[in-house]
Amino acid sequence: MTEEKEVKNETTPKREVDLIVRIAGVDLDGNKSVVRGLTKIKGIGIRAAKNIATAFTKTANVLSSEKIGNLTEIQIKKLEEITLNPKAAGIPVWTLNRRKDIYTGEDKHLVMADLDFSYRTDFQRLSEIKSYRGLRHNWGLTTRGQRTKSTHRGKGGTVGVTKKDVIKK
């Protein structure tokens, strides 16, 4: 009898957990849940990850607490589609990180290199029109009215006398 049980266990293959899963050009830890794993993608915070996971649960019938490594290839592709185009999946517009884009007027959600490129073009546009924010960005200073008398001093090199110079003299 024990031999028959062992044979049955050998015939039913167990799915191994993938340790690394690639979604949206990022290697995610397969041991983390869908929500926690999505937060490792640049441009997706905890709230956006929860909304994407909810939409993924509705379309693929997979719990958001499921480990990413346990997902099949088809489920991973669905998750990637929802991640790259959340508006088409029915995710609310207020979750998106690029609402009313200045160039196209569309609501979209950017991740990874696209997000970096859009920030760079925004700062370039601000500096070209010589706005106060653009100038402050170019100078490496704060742009939102923070104090600079006592904070934000680590941007440049040190000024003053160092002990080695004093000892040499």
pTM value is: 0.69
Question: Distance (Å, rounded) from C-alpha 80 to C-alpha 98?
Answer: 18
Residue pair 50/36 in contact by the 8 Å Cβ criterion = no
Q: Which pLDDT band holds residue 160 (cuts at 50, 70, 90)?
A: low
How large is the greatest C-alpha to C-alpha distance in the chain, in angstroms?
91
What pLDDT is attached to residue 143?
Answer: 85
CATH class as words, domain 20-95? mainly alpha
**What sign does the dihedral 122-126-128-134 (CA atoms) show?**
negative
Residue 4, pLDDT above cutoff 60: no
Domain residue spans in the chain?
A: 20-95, 112-145
